Amino acid sequence: MTPDTADLAARLAAVRRRIAEAATAADRAPGEVRLLLATKTQDARAVRAAIGAGATLIGENRVQELVTKGPELTDLSPTVHLIGHLQSNKVNAALPWVTCVQSIDTLAIAGRLSRRVTALDTELEVMVQVNVSGEDSKHGVDPVDAAGLATAVAALPGLRLTGFMTIGAPADRGAAVRDGFRRLREVRDAVTGSGEPGTQGAHELSMGMSGDLESAVAEGSTMVRVGSAVFGARPR
Ligand SMILES: *Cc1c(COP(=O)(O)O)cnc(C)c1O
């Protein structure tokens, strides 16, 4: 069932309120934190309704969903980021639909993207995904290797390193959630302060989801990725 635009607008407003309150509590300006709407499993009609309700920044997890929904959204020109794992054989299919790939976790995939965008004479924003929680099931580079990977990625032609992304630890791990977000901020600060070519602008911290955005904003998030708080729980 396609969610109602008025409903979506109310839920988006509620999420924006949560962001604003968390920012204010952390002595930050609410405008420092952007809202990316995570649209995995939602069909193009639902995404259109959400854009109609005011969403401008969209995150997709799967290349297949990018390719099927992309053509149905072009007239609305949303900004779309890839926030899920990217396999090297899907690079060519993904590129026409995204301005940023947030899920870079190996130099191999970054190199592949670099070669492709260079051949197309375009540019691509990228973020390095860091696994701050140590959960095996999650993609992302180990925090100790994150600065090295980011520096290498930043040096590749055609790619612009804009920051770092992480998926927080599960809520039942308590303080580990916020510790992980702090860890990502420390990685970001080390890289942007390193003086290495291409790293200076890598200020984005894409962290915080429906269940943990307050902790993420408290630790410096510049972009929260929210799905279920807007669309409702996903079927499992
Ligand atoms: C699904 C997803 C989100 C949004 O999660 P919610 O809990 O639904 O807000 C954010 N980031 C990534 C990478 C996701 O896969």
Please tell me the pTM assigned to this model.
Answer: 0.97
Q: How far is CA 190 from the centre of its chain?
A: 20
Q: Residue whose CA is closest, atom 7 of ligand 1?
A: 210
Determine the residue of 83, 215, 224, 231 to mutate for testing ligand 1's pocket, defined as the one with the most ligand atoms within 8 A of the Cβ atom: 83
Number of Cβ within 10 Å of residue 24's Cβ equals 12
pLDDT digits (tens, 9 = 90+) for 97-106: 999 999 999 9
- Which residues lie with the beta carbon below 6 Å from any ligand 1 atom? 38, 40, 61, 83-84, 167, 209-211, 225-229
Ligand 1 atom nearest to 40, measured from its CA: 1
Average pLDDT score, the chain: 96
Measured on CA atoms in the order 81, 87, 91, 92, is the torsion positive or negative? negative
- Predicted confidence at residue 1, as pLDDT, reads 61
Q: Which helix (H) or strand (E) element contains residue 217?
A: helix 213-218
- Total number of residues shown for the chain: 236
Please tell me the distance between residue 205's alpha carbon and the centre of ligand 1 in angstroms: 15
- Residue ranges in the chain whose pLDDT is less than 50: none
pLDDT digits (tens, 9 = 90+) for 17-55: 999 999 999 999 999 999 999 999 999 999 999 999 999
Using alpha carbons, list the distances in angstroms from residue 29 to 119, 120, 205, 208, 225. Answer: 40, 38, 15, 17, 18
Give residue 182's identity as a one-letter amino acid code.
R
Q: Name all domains of the chain by residue range, CATH numbers in brackets.
A: 5-230 (3.20.20.10)
Ligand 1 atom nearest to 61, measured from its CA: 15
